[in-house]
Structure 1
Amino acid sequence: MPVTVARRSRISGSAADLAVVLAAALVVVAAAVVGRALLAGGTDIFLPFPPLLAEWLPHAGPGTPAALAVAALVVAHGPAPAQRLTWGRLLAVAYAGAVAWTVSLALVDGWQRGVVERLTSSQEYLHDVPRVGDVGTLLRTFADHILTDRPGFWTTHVGAHPPGALLTFVWLDRLGLGGGGAAGLFVMLVGASAPVAVAVAARALGAEDLARRALPFGVLLPGAVWVGVSADGMFAAVLAWGVALLAIGSTGRGLRADLAAVTAGVLLGWCLYLSYGLVLGGLPALAVLIHTRRLRAGLFAAAGTLAVVAAFTASGFWWFTGFEHVRVIYAASIAQTRPYSYFVWANLAAVAFTVGPAVVAALRRAQALPTGVVLLVGAAVAAILLADLSGMSKAEVERIWLPFAGFLVLPCALLPHPRRWLGAQAALALAVNHLLLTVW
């Protein structure tokens, strides 16, 4: 019998998906080859395994059996329950799956090396927690310790971020959850909620069926390798929930919607004080407001954001001063020997490890998404491209761009043969975590 038009279309579409993935793979290979050539030529790009900040170290660990089991379970059974379960149960199951996936991947490196030591190195946030006495004094004097040519400067990650990130770990310590183990678990538990928030946002924008089909891809996002454990995984969840609550506030009515919009504004404002780069997180939020055209929700969200900005400013920290100081220390850091001409495209190779082949393939189908979701995905892509072109993110973007990468799973709902693509996602994450030792 002749092949039907529909079948020919599916075959053509699948071939195009594979072609896009192959093209991305070639970019990754090129980034690896050129990166190693730069290292051999004496240019220190500070990447032992370009384009990733990692080193070649095949290994297994206590998390290996669990990671394999979680991957197999989601690949084999994830798509069906995503369509069958009630919405609330689906979100609970998805969150449990994301936590299991993230924690098991982290434990491939062992509890000590994979969790405890991730946030306690001399470059990380917990290193400076003992320096903080009074929070008010911290905020008033925070900018005074950013520049590294002054005595008492902050360690690398603390000084390169606004004080909100350090404050988070200070508060954890004050609650009796100090140390790398507790902090690492906190980051993973928060970070693993990001795919749930992305699904909530899509549903609020009128695309529940799409959100359901995309959710297993959010659970098995290869970027979970860096959610466990880097603070950027936590940042991703805060941004995702800010956008999700804004979507709820923009599409609902009454007090509940207003409270959602205000809370969204507070979370989005808090993002500004977690990472300077999260100013680009305003793009997904703006995409929601453009689609819904709800001025009321925008005003309530703006009020929440301004409240956060006002609180930090009144406490003595001016965001723009901090950012200017960070630009100075960044220009004098290892970024000096990281050539823009290489990283402006090699960064995209690095983020390909975060999003995985399914997202790479699915993005070409994004124009078929509902309008609101198209805008949301487009805003995340725009944020990544702007961050890339800025030159303020030369390398290490596999973790730095986690807050934007999570939204890119939504087009995966349009992929045929979802189990095959989920398998590819899981295989990439397992390969990275078992063949390389990542810094985060």
Structure 2
Amino acid sequence: MQPTFRALLGATALTAVAAAAQAQTVTIATVNNGDMIRMQGLTQDFTEQHPDIDLEWVTLEENVLRQRVTQDIATGGGQFDVMTIGNYEVPIWANQGWLTPLENMPEGYDANDILPAIAGGLSVDGTLYAAPFYGESAMVMYRTDLAEEAGVEIPDQPTWADIKTAAEAMTDEENEIYGICLRGKAGWGENMALITAMSNSYGARWFDMDWQAQFDSPEWEATLTDYLDLMTNYGPPGASSNGFNENLSLFQQGKCGMWIDATVAASFVTDEDESTVADSVGFAQFPNKEGVDNRGNWLWSWNLAIPASSDATEAAKTFVAWATSKGYTELVAEEEGWAAAPPGTRTSLYENAEYQEAAPFAEMTLNQINAVDTKKPSVQEIPYTGAQFVAIPEFQGIGTAVGQQFSAALAGQTDAETALSNAQRATQREIDRAGYTD
């Protein structure tokens, strides 16, 4: 006897229900920036290939993300199967045994294609503990049309004096155009990323060789004074609340003459669908203070890591491999063009002629990344490694506390001298308490 159509339909429905019941859920904590939002929009490609894996997203603002994932992994909470974390956290957490090694990745993943500068910051004893989604250094993005109208030239290797001259010339408050936009929102990875890179370019350092904080040094005084001068005189109002996303929006709207920030922003400011100034954007290297041979040493990557507390390790690894693969890069290029491909992670991308043609910022991005020396971010002797951060576990708390002082100074709640004095005391207290000076 042949089964009826209704019986077949019922059997199909039961099969679908059974498959759904057996699907494994992978919960992903990620940051609310453009590249990550784009990835979420393209995950149908993944789910079609892996119907047995359901993806659940927790998308958070950068500072909140850091708080949530740090608390979860330190307590073994197990809320997340994939975490979006930086190259600051990866080696620290791997050494604590908190991350799952990314060994035996799927065939064709080609971990050897990852840029050495990026892979090195994500490995411990030669083992990769996170896969880079994108990598970045920092550079100057500027309005070529405004610079021309103002009669100023921004050289390929500008000094901070060049930046100040250009910011003053391009500021037009009557038309709500501000000469420069810089991060002001407090956070070790927000304003302190920019200000630490700036301090490196001024010849400053966080600590001397005896782990004594250096905020009472002339180099730090010059850094913060010039930062506040730039932002107070030529920056947008309310800048103490602006981080990466806020400044990106301002630049895309044509409100910033210059923006000094992560190289990853280049594809967004030149995107004709998103940026009103896409056809008039120029790029220059991160500035240095005249006489200091250092251009900031900013190196960052947003990476996908699997916490050791996950109970969906293999499914999580399958997703991480998809999201950071050459295939994903090709998917982005197919859907949105080569210029939108996640930058700064794979050698093959920078050998791709189509990408080079579509992304006028490609060569500078790669050169800036390769120029970073995380073992010597300052021209002075230092007892730590890092780039726009200090690679010690305590920096997350210390950096945010200092960032709050500097953000308060930008908001006019205190002055540079007081902010530096408070930063000096707070930093030294925490370093002493942690035993670095014993």
* TM above 0.5: no
| TM-score between the two structures when normalised by the length of structure 2 | 0.26
Larger fraction in helix: 1
Pick the structure with greater CA Rg.
Answer: 2
Structure with the largest fraction of strand: 2
